Amino acid sequence: TAYEIFQLIESEADVNVAFCYLGMGQVLSNQGEWRSALELITEAKNIIVKNYRKSDPKVAIIYNSLGSLYENQEDYAKAFENYEAAYKIFVECFGENHLETAISLRNLADIHFDLEEYHIAGEKYKKVYNVLRKFYPEDHICIATCYDGIGCVDLRLDRIDSALCNMRKALE
């Protein structure tokens, strides 16, 4: 495996090994093996934090992975904490009008939605849309995802006409 090869040629604290841990952790998370995934992603985080400043985008990538892991387990408090840490790093590094920042903000919007904080989720989905539309055409999947998120919020807030409009846009 890639991990075994990296172990032969790299030290255990090497950044390449960290990203190997991260990848394996993400696969295990997708398979529902939460404990093993958390161990590997945490080990990746420990290595990355030793090698990069706390505000480096590589650290944010780890936080996003941890957020995803916790979100999949429906531990929304820990998911939010990690997604927020990633978002703050991306804002510091790239500003609010960057693709990575927008994707990170969408993760936060998803958590607000899961927590039934629909007004906050809706505001964040709209901010994400406003950033992404500068980079992608209207028929891009990322734009469709924004419309879908906004439509779902509208539906939960009983704004049926607006929900239908946004969901139609998502399908176009």
Instruction: Say whether pLDDT at 121 is over 80.
Output: yes
The distance of Cα 44 from the centroid of its chain, to the nearest Å, equals 17
Q: What is the pLDDT of residue 15?
A: 83
pLDDT digits 0-9 by tens, 98-110: 999 999 999 999 9
Q: Read off the pTM.
A: 0.88
Instruction: Say whether pLDDT at 86 is over 80.
Output: yes
**What is the rounded distance in angstroms from the CA atom of residue 171 to the CA atom of residue 139?**
9
- If we measure between CA atoms, which residue out of 63, 64, 66 comes closest to residue 54? 63
Instruction: Say whether pLDDT at 17 is over 90.
Output: no
Share of the chain above pLDDT 90, in %: 85
pLDDT band for position 3 (cuts 50, 70, 90): low
Instruction: Say whether pLDDT at 90 is over 90.
Output: yes
